Structure 1
């Protein structure tokens, strides 16, 4: 199995970001994820380049200012506490994040072609759902799913898996372009675990000869890259809920999430 796709906390840290995964680092074309930590009164300015970005509070609130608009994000106490509001920042722009009380903020990005307007995503408008049942139950926040919020390429959702449960199950993939059946998408999983010393497990198994093969013990601040392959299950330690942020994008002309389930694991619901 390859460890190249498991990015432990601290291994992609630099002077600006506690997590910095760009397409070059990931070895692909579209998806990116950055996490910036701001002290009280802190600011961070970035240029979007050829990518669209969503600023998503993980802990705390902030303002997001572009050349054209300013958004006040109320944020949240933690990723386990509630859904958050967010801001969309288009390509070819400059944005500043400022936080009076400080906090941690995810920047989920994707290389794109269209320049859409900067927008605010209110927390009450984020569609939520429960998937699965029993020990496969998890809670999904579809804040930037393909059918919930307009982006050019970017798809992003959050998942809370209760302690002891499995999610991303049955294993599924989206590494081929098959019209009407499967969409080709790169994907980043970013993890946080509730409670001290908590951990979980993430599996990615090959869908083709020589494909991605990962079994990682994940802790808060870790990420796993999924360029291809069957991904799942994601397993939460008993009594420690698992959070993950999924960032996806691909080359398809239509922005859609179409997946194929592993034929050997058809029980349950996603």
Structure 2
């Protein structure tokens, strides 16, 4: 296992970042490897007003740039990507851009919007590329009250990157996801070592009532951590190690989360181990239907 930040004796809520508590350098949210206390994964949320622009110097990180709301043009040199975007994250997948290391990229939004920069440290230089929303593989995972939709826009084996793995998950109100709990904190034939970020958005109630959900992370062999937290719109949870899941969406409030993962391994892959007390639940899905509120499986 690679050397990472020292594991505290009673870790937990230092890995929970409430909405609005980590702005920096003009970003609504900025999580870097340094601020997270690890080595690889990062996330920044950029909020642009109508007509706004921002130039991002990627430095030693690659990024997936994905609109959370609104549309944008993304320019590197003489190449420009038009990202059609979306009104909000529950609308469906979005266009996105891949930003290479050591690049100066300009993001502009005529109508304004919020944009996630999902990053990972790397020395590998890959081309500046555009991903179309119609090409994003949409997976319906689980069944019954474990039904959720996974948008694999930046998954390993779907879109080439050096290290970053990024997906979006929609969990309908009342359902559970990231279940069974799983881990990826050891390197081996059946598991990859990956640092992970969960960024949440929670749909409001019918009169705009603020929503909520729950997230759990617990200790895995050799790694102490204990998080059981009520999450709200735009909260973030860091997963340096441990069994993570389930996530539960309160009835009436759909849950979105953006997962950003990266690690030290040469292979860019998502290999996990299910929690041994919860793995049995997968067998029950064969006799259940997928939640009818979800669509788009491929």
The alpha-carbon deviation at position 208 of structure 1 amounts to 2.7
Candidates 203, 207, 213, aligned match of 1:194? 203
Q: Which residue of 1 aligns with 2:193?
A: 184
Structure 2 counterpart SS, 1:25: helix
Q: Is the 8 A contact 2:223 2:242 kept in 1?
A: no
TM-score (normalised: structure 1): 0.97
CA distance in 1, matches of 2:160, 2:246: 28
Over aligned residue pairs, what C-alpha RMSD do you find? 1.2
Q: Which residue of 2 aligns with 1:137?
A: 147
Structure 2 counterpart SS, 1:211: strand
Structure 2 counterpart SS, 1:182: coil
CA distance in 2, matches of 1:68, 1:246: 31
Q: Which residue of 2 aligns with 1:203?
A: 216
Change (3 A) 1:68 1:185: farther
Instruction: Give structure 1 stretches of 5+ with no counterpart.
Output: none
Q: Is the 8 A contact 1:136 1:268 kept in 2?
A: no
Q: Is the 8 A contact 1:212 1:226 kept in 2?
A: no
Candidates 55, 71, 74, aligned match of 1:45? 55
Q: Which residue of 2 aligns with 1:65?
A: 75
Structure 2 residue 263 is the aligned partner of structure 1 residue 253: no
The alpha-carbon deviation at position 10 of structure 1 amounts to 1.1
CA distance in 2, matches of 1:207, 1:103: 39
The alpha-carbon deviation at position 124 of structure 1 amounts to 0.6
Structure with larger Rg: 2
The alpha-carbon deviation at position 197 of structure 1 amounts to 0.9
Candidates 5, 13, 22, aligned match of 1:3? 13
Aligned 1:1-270 pairs, distance under 5 A: 2-179=12-189, 181-195=190-204, 196-269=209-282
**CA deviations over 1:127-164 (Å, ceiling 9, x no partner):** 00111111000000000100110000000000000000
Q: Is the 8 A contact 2:139 2:151 kept in 1?
A: yes
Instruction: Give structure 2 stretches of 5+ with no counterpart.
Output: 1-10, 286-298
Q: Is the 8 A contact 1:54 1:87 kept in 2?
A: yes
**CA deviations over 1:173-217 (Å, ceiling 9, x no partner):** 0000012x0000000000000113101111000003452211111
Q: Is the 8 A contact 1:203 1:234 kept in 2?
A: yes
Structure 2 counterpart SS, 1:135: helix
Q: Is the 8 A contact 1:67 1:93 kept in 2?
A: no
Which sits farther off after the overlay, 17-26 or 204-213?
204-213
Q: Is the 8 A contact 1:132 1:268 kept in 2?
A: no
